[in-house]
Structure 1
Amino acid sequence: MKLFYAIVLLFSFSAYCQTGSITGTVTDGNGPVPAAHIIVSPLGKTIAADENGMYAVNDVPYGSYEVIVSTVGLKTVRKKVSVSNATPVTLNIVLQEDTQALEEVVITGTMKEVSRSDSPIPVEIITPKLFRKNPTPSLFEAVGMINGVQPQLNCNVCNTGDIHINGMEGPYTMILIDGMPIVSSLSTVYGLSGIPNSIVERIEVVKGPASSLYGSEAMGGIINVITKAPYKAPRISADYFFTSWGEQSVDAAIKFKAGKATSLLGVNYFNYNVKADKNRDNFTDVTQQNRISVFNKWNFDRKENRQFSLAGRYVYEDRWGGEMNWTKQWRGSDSIYGESIYTKRAELIGLYQLPTTERIFTQFSYNWHDQDSYYGNTPYMATQQVGFVQAYWDKQFGSSHNFLLGAAMRYTKYDDNTPATARENGTNMPQKTPLPGFFIQDEWTITPKHMLLGGYRFDYDRNHGGIHSPRVAYKFAPNKNNTVRASFGTGFRVVNLFTEDHAALTGARDVIIAEALNPERSYNSNLNYVLKIPTETVLINFDITGFYSYFTNKIVGDFDTDPTKIIYDNLNGHAISQGVSLNTDLVFPFPLKVMAGISYMDVFQKEKDALGMETKTQQLHAPRWSGNFIASYNLPNNYSVDVTGNWYGPMRLPVLPNDYRPAYSPWFCIANVQFTKKMDFGLEFYGGVKNVFDFVPKYALMRPFDPFNKNVNDPVNNPNGYTFDTSYNYASLQGRRVFLGVRYNLL
């Protein structure tokens, strides 16, 4: 009997050790599809096709598998294969253009490459194809094309801004580049406008809790900027456009090979140096900007398609806004008001897959950010360095469990000339913040229709101790046309006032910190339903999401108690962000596609007043109603027309006591139209009109004739005690403008 068991065990072991391979090419009918994603399920092996569309999956144990092949813009193909001997199984795949529902590969929701429809976390995507429907010079403006994502200008003079997700302010949104926390703290103020669209392959947006994977600061959502892979980029590309306001933007990139490496070198330059004062308040309506960004990314060929990439970027920007007669000789003076900001920034990002049989990845990043600025006569000089390293193990257990285990370390060094880095005796003490942590996640495919994701992250902050961030998500897909997703998670955030809140830097108000601020905590939940209705005349997609977030210890700036101060304090109560958003896609058999979205949000805080009564206050810059729309129509002879826009309902604004400016903004819409003509050999011309309805806010600066508040105590000419104020803003002061441009791509 023992001999029998030994023979059976030996036979089983030898059968298990027998392996074969799957090889082939991926084409789209016109040629190879480089970097197409090939997933062998349930084995969990994931590779990318080479630049000739060829692939080889080795060490595949004998058995039956499903091969999933996908790439952005083409339909996903699934094929069953059986590996039964050492002879390679040849599987050639022809992908077709997806004119109905895109099956993009996404990574942000789970840190794994999966089909967007298979992800248990809802992920929204913007691609360069969508960018080109309304050309913009930076990421900051481009993300406004997503419903529920609001680029918000916070200052009418220097035009700083942040990105709101579901009504929550910018610091609650974690900005990643290739999965690395590159844009944070100091760089959130101007860093977003320095990311050119030319380096972007796609942008993935996750609304709601993601702290268990990406850190405790991802309380409101994540915007992950996926940069272009060199081997997927055109050999030469260029894009130039200018507007009737004098803005000029140029992108140029070239791809080249060096041995076993492929490199993409790109340059972006944006310039705007035309002073405009259409509202005649003697202040520039839009900041003057001179910005250059140089980007270089390398991909290295390795055995068995293991991944290795390095990317670097350098940004320099000189921007200023202020009185029309301001020049640099007045920088920092109290004679002529100007806000002048010099920004220098360097980044390094890397990914390396270890040469092991297990899928183990290491990621690292470093960024240096220097800001030399004056807000009137108030200086703000700051430098920040952030180093980050992460390793994770991606493992498939059986056919049901997709496991992830990782550890991360982030180290931040920050120094400035504010009280944030000063000792009690007045000497300087830079902030040094190590933040180690580890995370674990399991995707459990209970049945083909049910999936459960559980995740947990632990970070250790030396000032606040251990930080626990659990997350759970559930997906139910009874068929390919119906999908339900639900998720819940928590968040934790330590606020850096002087790096995150531009209002604290303008010099227009004094900053008062009422007490030692405690970290914020949040509890977040999302419920998402996707419905696809295919008919003979139109394909209709509905994507509806309900969200709810509850905050304790929320840190808020009180703009109302004293017009000369911003008083920061932990909320003596709680805050809530809740609402629902609906996205629709309509694809017709004729060349028309329409996308539209609408969001309803109720974002507010409740706290007790001096009498112990609970009061409710609406969040600033959080409209209850908002939406977007995109319509594209292809005309004969390679002409096309795109209509895009965003609309917003009333939002609460920061006003002064007895302010003559309305406390709420009006309903407004910013619409754009573009016409494109595609020529031969990758050349196309485009032009159109931005802000077609010429909407411009009626009110902007308070007392622009006295920006240094030298005459505020005049009871005759200033009976209400008004002070100079730059924070009353809800839309750009740029009116209607024409744009023209040209693009070229040599594949």
Structure 2
Amino acid sequence: MKKLIISIFISLTGIIAQTRFQGRVVDAAGNPIPDVNVLVAGTSYGTSSDKNGIFKLDYPLKSGDEISFSCIGFEAKTVKYNPSINFLTVRLQPKEYSSEAVVVTGTRNLKKLKDTPVRTELISEKEIKKCGYVSLKEVLMEQTGLAVINNHGSGIQIQGLDPDYTLILIDGEPAIGRTAGTIELSRFDVANLKQIEIVKGPSSSLYGSEALAGVVNLITSFPEVPEKIALYAQTGTHNSYQLNGDLYKSFGKFKGSLFLNTRGTEGFDLTPGSISKTAPEYDNILINPKLEYSFDESNSLKINVRYFNENQNNLAEITENDRTVILKDEDRLRDVNISLNYSGKLSNSYSHQSRLYASNYFTESKLNYQIGGEQYEYSRFDQYYYKAEYSGNLLIDQTNLTTFGTGYVKESINADRIDKEADDINSHFVFLQHEWIPSRFVDIVGGLRYDYHSKYSSRISPKISAAIKPYDFLKFNVSVGSGFKAPTLQQLYLNFTNPQVGYSVYGATNFLYYFNKLLEEGQIDRILINPENINKLNAENSWSLNFAVEYEHSENFWASLNLFRNNVRDLIDATPIAIKKNGQGLYTYFNLNKIYTQGIESEIRITLYDYIKMSAGYQYLDAVDEEVLEKVKAGEYFRLTESGRLKKITESDYGGLFNRSKHSGNIRLAYDNETYGVFAALTGILKGKYGYYDRNGNGILDDKSEYAAGYAVWNFALNKSINDHLALQLRIENLLDRKLSGQNMNLSGRIIYAGISINY
């Protein structure tokens, strides 16, 4: 019995010895490395090193078991367990990062661009700087599948969906201040951007309202260097100028940066018969300080402030008492954003973020008589947006990652054309996403978001995406999801009567009040739609499918093809409800239309010679109002011919939605020789004919005279690095001097910019 007890004791001692394995992780210089992930291969068991680099594994290891060591900034390493070694020293080598791009917008987690399951398009800092872009408008105009259109400002159209349905983010936070649905792209400077990420297709499962068509995320730079100073100066046509400076400094646990930019122009005029300039004179300033404090390797606090102010000046003319009167048109825009972001790591498997964000967008417009200076008209728009959000990432194992979050949003608008009784909008949201990587060939991510809104019914927005990579050179992406756009405060509480013409537009919430008031005053001539049938506005919503294939043959050839379909329901539109005694309409907002957009996008990039590269992109787009199409098929639409007869509109006559080109594309030929510091690029933007004006008044696009002709615009960029600190730049937009006014596009002719940059 005594021998048996001794044998058992010896065996248990051996097992215990096997389960107690420890060691130390150091860098190439022998310094300890904290927070190294230590994992037993083939299991989910692991630990991490402490601040002294010490790790301990309590696991029944067997001789030859593999143990992996990984840490950000170092090359991963695998060692085999040897029972004869009681204390192991593991030395990790610094990781030499490749130029592989990393994106975050599609999944809210860092992913390599080539591996992300949510197809993302990226415009790098290198391209932005070498091409000498002035604002976001110029950048997006040269991208495949994106159309910049003029509709109450320059906005971005994705896959044929209007600018209203694209969410623009700055460092992951939403930009506000839509003018009739459009966020003006020229508001956004690009000189301090690290990259621009574009996700096409609905992204409401992560970002909520306004991400129905897609997301454009502007990610500002925050250099990982001890200090940096960059200066840039540019001058150009129309007395335009741009000056900016970017300062960066790290000191101890603090990192800080300050970006300053100012630009302006005297504007231009394409209509000599009018006193107003086509594009007004303006000057603006952007101030963007950022500060980060790192508590330790895993926990940090970031503060980001963005202040933008712009002043515009123009002239306008009106007719009073049969004479022309000149007015001074002065506009001011102010956009302020403040974000506070705490990022932390509670363990190797759980990280989290707490974010606070506040934004204010303010505009005012003054029309004063040029002679005498008395006020003719004044209007203002003042919008506030507040958001609090918490999100977390749970790494279940090496193949499963769960992301979740919750938050609260409050929004208010104070504007001359919005009822003062308009309540603030309050919304709560919860989102959940799970990523599963069953093999190195497949990456699947699915998620949904629940939004509770104080002004419309709740929404659930699901989405699932997958990347399948059977070979290193071949990748398939598929994405199916739902998006939505909430009714705006304008659509709910607008109170506007045109003083010259006399028509009135009221929001869906306050319409009955004003309708009954006009009825009592005897101002209603006839009723077109029973006001009692006006329902509460629903959110506009969509279902979308994107299927893409990418092929890459080394670095010399890359091609992609993307098929897409968007079905949008409950589009909100202003509809006449009654006719007033003055003969003008009385309008309010309804959920009416259902549309679809579908098409093909293709891109190709080829390296012709060592330094010469060519790229081209093409989009075919079919954009249709389904209700109009059904009525056309039923023979309910007509147009008046030149002979005065009514002609029934056929399906082949119907041209779809206005302001969309069926065929569009781009082409670029570039020379990029980093050895000699020379970059040159010639880029063509091609746009086919598009409908722009309902000339015959039947409300649809159906006649050749209602189309604007297609056009091509060519841009040229040249960048020459003199040395590591100095570079010269030349950019020529509209090289062939094409001029175009109206037709939802303004081309001012050739514009030349010349600049110089200094970096230390």
Is the TM value for this pair above 0.5? yes
CA displacement, residues 479-536 of structure 1 (integer Å, 9 cap, x when unaligned): 111111111111222232749999x9998874546855432111111111111123xx
Among 541, 548, 551, the residue aligned to 2:568 = 551
Aligned to 1:581: 601
Aligned to 1:393: 392
Among 713, 717, 741, the residue aligned to 1:674 = 717
Aligned to 2:142: 145
User: Would the alpha carbon gap of residues 304 and 739 (structure 1) be closer, same or farther in structure 2, given more than 3 Å must change?
Assistant: closer
Among 585, 609, 625, the residue aligned to 1:605 = 625
| Gaps in structure 2 of 5+ consecutive residues | 1-6, 30-35, 45-50, 60-65, 82-86, 369-375, 507-528, 638-653
Aligned ranges 1:465-480 → 2 under 5 Å = 465-480=457-472
Among 610, 623, 640, the residue aligned to 2:661 = 623
User: Would the alpha carbon gap of residues 399 and 286 (structure 1) be closer, same or farther in structure 2, given more than 3 Å must change?
Assistant: same
CA displacement, residues 705-742 of structure 1 (integer Å, 9 cap, x when unaligned): xxxxxxxxxxxxxxxxxxxxxxx42x223101222111
Q: Between the two proteins, what is the percent identity of the paired residues?
A: 19
SS across alignment from 1:91: coil
Opposite residue 542 of structure 1, the aligned amino acid is A
Number of positions where the alignment pairs a residue of Structure 1 with one of Structure 2? 661
User: Would the alpha carbon gap of residues 367 and 589 (structure 1) be closer, same or farther in structure 2, given more than 3 Å must change?
Assistant: same
Opposite residue 325 of structure 2, the aligned amino acid is S
TM-score by length of 2: 0.77
Q: Compare 449-458 and 563-572 and name the one that shifted more.
A: 563-572
Opposite residue 209 of structure 1, the aligned amino acid is P
SS across alignment from 2:260: strand
TM-score by length of 1: 0.79
Aligned ranges 1:40-79 → 2 under 5 Å = 64-65=67-68, 79=76
* Alpha-carbon shift at residue 650 of structure 1 (Å): 1.2
* Alpha-carbon shift at residue 571 of structure 1 (Å): 5.6
User: Would the alpha carbon gap of residues 9 and 415 (structure 1) be closer, same or farther in structure 2, given more than 3 Å must change?
Assistant: farther
CA displacement, residues 260-294 of structure 1 (integer Å, 9 cap, x when unaligned): 21111111101112554465443312221111111
* Alpha-carbon shift at residue 558 of structure 1 (Å): 7.2
Aligned to 1:639: 678
User: Would the alpha carbon gap of residues 233 and 338 (structure 1) be closer, same or farther in structure 2, given more than 3 Å must change?
Assistant: farther
Contact 2:154 2:184 in 1 (8 A): no
Aligned to 1:240: 233
Aligned to 1:724: none
Among 424, 446, 451, the residue aligned to 1:454 = 446
Aligned ranges 1:220-299 → 2 under 5 Å = 220-232=213-225, 235-274=228-267, 276-277=269-270, 279-299=272-292
CA displacement, residues 589-634 of structure 1 (integer Å, 9 cap, x when unaligned): 5111222211111112121688976776622222111112332213
Aligned to 2:728: 685
Is 1:488 the counterpart of 2:480? The answer is yes
SS across alignment from 1:140: helix
Aligned to 1:540: 557
> In structure 2, what is the Cα distance between the partners aligned to 1:268 and 1:505?
39
Aligned to 2:738: 695
Aligned to 2:169: 176
Aligned to 2:750: 736
Is 1:344 the counterpart of 2:334? The answer is yes
* Alpha-carbon shift at residue 313 of structure 1 (Å): 1.1
* Alpha-carbon shift at residue 161 of structure 1 (Å): 1.9
Is 1:530 the counterpart of 2:569? The answer is no
CA displacement, residues 117-146 of structure 1 (integer Å, 9 cap, x when unaligned): 111001111122212343233223322232
> In structure 2, what is the Cα distance between the partners aligned to 1:24 and 1:620?
63
CA displacement, residues 636-671 of structure 1 (integer Å, 9 cap, x when unaligned): 843332112321111211345479994222111121
Aligned to 1:745: 759
Is 1:117 the counterpart of 2:117? The answer is no
> In structure 2, what is the Cα distance between the partners aligned to 1:21 and 1:470?
43
> In structure 2, what is the Cα distance between the partners aligned to 1:490 and 1:13?
55
CA displacement, residues 361-381 of structure 1 (integer Å, 9 cap, x when unaligned): 112211111111258966431
* Alpha-carbon shift at residue 259 of structure 1 (Å): 4.2
Among 640, 663, 666, the residue aligned to 2:706 = 663
* Alpha-carbon shift at residue 109 of structure 1 (Å): 0.6
Q: Compare 434-443 and 178-187 and name the one that shifted more.
A: 178-187
SS across alignment from 2:707: coil
> In structure 1, what is the Cα distance between the partners aligned to 2:498 and 2:684?
31
Aligned to 2:371: none
CA displacement, residues 540-577 of structure 1 (integer Å, 9 cap, x when unaligned): 11121111111111124579x99987966546452001
SS across alignment from 2:89: coil
> In structure 1, what is the Cα distance between the partners aligned to 2:24 and 2:140?
45
> In structure 1, what is the Cα distance between the partners aligned to 2:352 and 2:146?
34
Opposite residue 95 of structure 2, the aligned amino acid is I
Contact 1:378 1:506 in 2 (8 A): no
> In structure 1, what is the Cα distance between the partners aligned to 2:250 and 2:359?
26
SS across alignment from 1:219: coil
Aligned to 2:407: 408
Aligned to 1:107: 104
Contact 1:210 1:222 in 2 (8 A): yes
Contact 2:155 2:184 in 1 (8 A): no
Q: Which has the higher contact order (CA 8 A, sep 6+)?
A: 1
* Alpha-carbon shift at residue 346 of structure 1 (Å): 1.3
> In structure 1, what is the Cα distance between the partners aligned to 2:655 and 2:262?
42
Aligned to 1:92: 94
* Alpha-carbon shift at residue 442 of structure 1 (Å): 0.7
> In structure 2, what is the Cα distance between the partners aligned to 1:273 and 1:343?
17
Opposite residue 394 of structure 1, the aligned amino acid is N
Aligned to 1:651: 690
> In structure 1, what is the Cα distance between the partners aligned to 2:272 and 2:609?
46
SS across alignment from 2:114: helix
Opposite residue 628 of structure 1, the aligned amino acid is N
SS across alignment from 1:291: strand
* Alpha-carbon shift at residue 17 of structure 1 (Å): 9.1
* Alpha-carbon shift at residue 467 of structure 1 (Å): 0.9
Contact 2:594 2:625 in 1 (8 A): yes
> In structure 1, what is the Cα distance between the partners aligned to 2:13 and 2:356?
44
SS across alignment from 2:487: coil
| Gaps in structure 1 of 5+ consecutive residues | 26-37, 45-54, 71-76, 423-427, 701-727
Opposite residue 568 of structure 2, the aligned amino acid is F
Contact 2:176 2:361 in 1 (8 A): no
User: Would the alpha carbon gap of residues 246 and 112 (structure 1) be closer, same or farther in structure 2, given more than 3 Å must change?
Assistant: same
> In structure 2, what is the Cα distance between the partners aligned to 1:405 and 1:320?
47
CA displacement, residues 143-169 of structure 1 (integer Å, 9 cap, x when unaligned): 2232112222225xxxx2211111111
